Chain A
């Protein structure tokens, strides 16, 4: 039973980490209809930026600054690459997915050139060292912190979307982009802000995951696959969907690892195929107008 509780806690920790990544992707997709395959790249950027900041500063400095770094990188990508392409009439689905896919390769390769292929890590902050014991097995405080961070991120984003003017503009943009433009709102500027915010979440996930999973050049690729699965299972563009799908996927992964390691490599994909077989649009699909 105690082993089970430990697994539940681990599952929650993984779920919340995936959730932080997934809301970034969902935010961008929901408003801009852009599938950002470089999301794993921004996760990598956040982690490496964090490792550099943590060497000379502290974990908390890395924790605060690396999401900014990832966010700024995202803003630059949106403002100087994706936006000009969109105004040239490029399909946000096919072309942007391919473009950001190329960028993912560049970021992964670039990380390997600059930092080498060795594993790096960030030490958990002193205040979160140690943990509490569950019948002999310690559960680190740091993982509890990750669980709370995930919930906080979800809460903050919910407040931002539901209770602020920016949120209202974003929601209006999702519903009807043209009308928002006619109301005199510079939607391109909103896009840059939202894209930066989404990438900042990826960067945050990167730096937070570093003390648990370590940092390596291809870290973005494997996590991207899991995040994509979450976003698709939850329903593209749906925050509620991302939350529940993160919990389903995180729990499934952890439980498979603990109780059926043989299934772990492919079980998740079977789950995805089954869910999409029943609900092709995902669990909480948002209704879009068919243009």
Chain B
């Protein structure tokens, strides 16, 4: 067998360049509501929500090297958490939202503890089982509407800012705020020593143990963070559609999440964001042409896994370095 080429997680791209690109990207994203039409803005909102979801999955898949086939359960936890707290128990939205995030993180830790006691293959099946368990339970639960799920998910009352969150533009900016805060925090966390330990676990866990790291705790931490970020996405998704249904926990949502990460490029921070953008936009485009977009994505998925492990983010990086080289000469 040939020697495997390791892809370092911390890129050598200069710091300035990253900051420049980020500032430009954030600037463009803020401009969206003022430039594009209603449908495009709503697509943009969807992209950011699924980008958060994919970022969450990538903490496990790309950084720690664990495939979770059940991450859609956190989409459900985010949606149902908010629905149960606000609709059933009558909590105000400003309290229900952070409470849901907390629940997501805690459940992430607990489920992570249960799933990480076993090997990687068993992990894959066990995460799938947990998501099926939750979706089955919510399908049966009468209080949350069974198969139909719950409607009337509240959005925050932004009257004190003089705006209405049911307005498409405002909701876009609301999601953008969450997106930026979570993404920035996650970036800091994953580029801290903690993130490096996760990469170490991915590359060689036994060596990390030999170095004295309690890898079990780090992995549970990674699962909790991953679950928390996906919960944020789930909550925003429920607020966007106004529904929380067991459907959001189905394994096709888990599969689509993995699809986004792989297409965008796992093992890079920006990959899941690009992948989610590509996936949501291509799905919207393909749905007009063919009903069976899933075949196209499946093929794309296989090609990326087989030939271009760095995905879209790798492609962009190649273009950037090529340009830099041309500028120098």
Number of interface residues, chain A, beta carbon within 8 A = 47
The distance from the CB of B109 to the nearest CB of chain A, in whole angstroms, is 16
Contact of B251 among A221, A265, A280, A282 (CB under 8 A): A221
Judge whether B128 and A105 touch: CB under 8 Å: no
Query: Which residue of A is nearest B140, CB measured?
Result: A262
Judge whether B295 and A109 touch: CB under 8 Å: yes
A113 contacts B by Cβ under 8 Å: yes
Judge whether B132 and A281 touch: CB under 8 Å: no
Interface residues of A, dominant DSSP? helix
* Measured CA separation A88–B305 after assembly (Å): 12
Query: How many Cβ-Cβ contacts under 8 Å join chain A to chain B?
Result: 123
* Measured CA separation A95–B306 after assembly (Å): 8
B302 contacts A by Cβ under 8 Å: yes
The distance from the CB of A78 to the nearest CB of chain B, in whole angstroms, is 14
Known: A103-B298, A105-B259, A109-B298. 7 other contacts (CB 8 A): A35-B124, A81-B306, A90-B4, A97-B124, A99-B306, A265-B139, A269-B136
Query: Which residue of B is nearest A222, CB measured?
Result: B251
A225-270: which residues lie under 8 A (CB-CB) from chain B? 225, 228-229, 231-232, 236, 262, 265-266, 268-270
Contacts A89-B4, A94-B65: A229 and B122 contacting too (C-beta < 8 A)?
Answer: no
The distance from the CB of A262 to the nearest CB of chain B, in whole angstroms, is 6
Proximity string of chain B (53-79) to chain A, C-beta cutoff 8 Å, 1 when within and 0 when not: 000000000000101000000000000
Contact of B129 among A81, A108, A262, A273 (CB under 8 A): A273
Contact of A88 among B2, B294, B297 (CB under 8 A): B2
Proximity string of chain B (109-121) to chain A, C-beta cutoff 8 Å, 1 when within and 0 when not: 0000010011111
Contact of B117 among A29, A269, A280 (CB under 8 A): A280
Q: What A residues does B294 contact at CB under 8 A?
A: 105, 108-109
Judge whether B125 and A232 touch: CB under 8 Å: yes
* Most A Cβ at <10 Å: residue of B65, B130, B139, B295: B295
Judge whether A281 and B302 touch: CB under 8 Å: no
A272 contacts B by Cβ under 8 Å: yes
Query: Which residue of A is nearest B4, CB measured?
Result: A89
Q: List 26 A-B contacts (CB under 8 A).
A: A29-B121, A85-B306, A89-B4, A94-B67, A98-B67, A99-B305, A102-B262, A102-B301, A105-B297, A105-B298, A109-B292, A109-B294, A113-B295, A229-B129, A232-B125, A265-B132, A265-B139, A266-B137, A269-B129, A269-B133, A273-B129, A276-B117, A276-B118, A280-B122, A281-B118, A281-B122
Q: What B residues does A110 contact at CB under 8 A?
A: 295
Contacts A106-B298, A269-B132, A273-B114: A98 and B121 contacting too (C-beta < 8 A)?
Answer: no
A112 contacts B by Cβ under 8 Å: yes
A87 contacts B by Cβ under 8 Å: yes
Query: Which residue of B is nearest A232, CB measured?
Result: B125
B90-135: which residues lie under 8 A (CB-CB) from chain A? 114, 117-122, 124-126, 128-130, 132-134
Q: What B residues does A89 contact at CB under 8 A?
A: 1-4
B196-218: which residues lie under 8 A (CB-CB) from chain A? none
Judge whether A106 and B295 touch: CB under 8 Å: yes
B258 contacts A by Cβ under 8 Å: yes
Contact of B302 among A106, A113, A228 (CB under 8 A): A106
